[in-house]
Amino acid sequence: MQHPGTLFVVATPIGNLGDMSPRAQDILRSVAAICAEDTRRSGQLLAHFGIATPLLAMHEHNEDAIAQKIVARLLAGESLALVSDAGTPLVSDPGFRLVRAARAAGVKVSPVPGPSALIAALSVAGLPSDRFVFEGFLPAKASARRERLQALAGEPRTLIFYESSHRIADTLDDAVVAFGALRPAVLARELTKLFETVLDGTLADLVTAVAGDDNQRKGEFVLLVQGAGEDADAKVAEGHRLYAKLAEHLPPSTAAKLAAELSGAPRKALYGMKDGDAS
Ligand code: SAM
């Protein structure tokens, strides 16, 4: 029987082409074909490095069908690679179903590690990095996004979110409601690119910075939020979460009083909330 090939999962730059590793280039040159999310975009990257390996389109909508064809080629002895538009495949990008299918078929899947925006952001944020939670993209719908954030209010580990330019301002507003205005946070924008900025402060500081400068709403973002403290922080976060729920049915003052009683947070800490924050 033919010895199966290897599926290489290859990370590519998140902005700076200098971050393409020599090994990534060698592997992409040596495989029979490269599965790519957007063949035009990956084609440009490969052309830059003089790599002429054929590309196969694999995106969210055809991944299952393509995965079967790719696994058949791997089993027939070809080695193939998987890349995404930028960064590490499978991290908020397609590839999970292909990797699972390849592993289920007994094919070797081997990583060629490199850039990923979440790790790049964590490495410069100055927030606790020993334990963290990657939440990917928040839901696009406002109500679902707020619910997701509320559910994370008491999470003690550092939280990491991906966000796009058209939603960053709304997400920061919602984060203030869920986690409290004073929660330390970092907004990492356009990492490794010309307009890289890493803003830190409280969530309220970030809201102000983004609202006050159009440029801070452009590009690609990673939002990191410090986890809830064991103590006062957690109580205030829980108070905010309860307030948001209670204010759906009760007048704001009653909701704040009850939320303070139930959470143990000082009522003062919940007073800053606007009526609309709970909607
Ligand atoms: N697979 C990629 C990775 O490993 O980081 C992530 C792909 S996901 C579709 C794209 C999101 O990643 C962007 O919306 C942004 O949140 C984040 N991102 C990608 N590149 C970035 C960069 N240079 N600076 C900040 N965030 C970035």
Say what the pLDDT of residue 239 is: 85
Q: Is the dihedral of CA 119, 213, 176, 265 positive or negative?
A: positive
Mutation probe of ligand 1 site: the residue of 92, 186, 187, 198 with most atoms within 8 A of C-beta: 92
Mutation probe of ligand 1 site: the residue of 14, 137, 138, 193 with most atoms within 8 A of C-beta: 14
Say what the pLDDT of residue 122 is: 98
CATH number of 118-225: 3.30.950.10
**Residue 253: both structure tokens together:** 């003052």
Residue found under tokens 């990191």: 224
Say what the pLDDT of residue 275 is: 43
From ligand 1's centre to the CA of 121, what distance in Å? Answer: 10
Say what the pLDDT of residue 273 is: 57
Please tell me if the CB atom of residue 174 comes closer than 6 angstroms to any atom of ligand 1.
Answer: no
**Residue pair 162/219 in contact by the 8 Å Cβ criterion:** no
> Residue 200 — φ and ψ, nearest 5°?
-130, 165
Sheet of strand 6-10, all strands in order from the earlier edge strand to the far edge = 55-57, 33-36, 80-83, 6-10, 108-112
Say what the pLDDT of residue 230 is: 58
Cβ neighbours around 48 below 10 Å, total: 11
Say what the pLDDT of residue 274 is: 47
CATH number of 6-115: 3.40.1010.10
- pLDDT per residue, tens digit, the chain (279 aa), is 678 999 999 999 999 999 999 999 999 999 999 999 999 999 999 999 999 999 999 988 889 999 999 999 999 999 999 999 999 999 999 999 999 999 999 999 999 999 999 999 999 999 999 999 999 999 999 999 999 999 999 999 999 999 999 999 999 999 999 999 999 999 999 999 999 999 999 999 999 999 988 888 899 999 999 999 856 666 777 788 889 899 899 998 898 889 888 887 777 777 655 444 433
Helix (H) or strand (E) holding 233: helix 232-246
> Residue 158 — φ and ψ, nearest 5°?
-60, 135
Rounded to an integer, what is the distance from CA 277 to the centroid of its chain? 24
Cβ neighbours around 60 below 10 Å, total: 10
Cβ neighbours around 257 below 10 Å, total: 16
DSSP type of residue 167: T
Say what the pLDDT of residue 278 is: 38
Burial class (CB in 10 A: 0-12, 13-18, 19+), 265: buried
- The pTM is what? 0.85
Say what the pLDDT of residue 30 is: 98
From ligand 1's centre to the CA of 20, what distance in Å? Answer: 16
Q: Is the dihedral of CA 206, 209, 212, 218 positive or negative?
A: negative
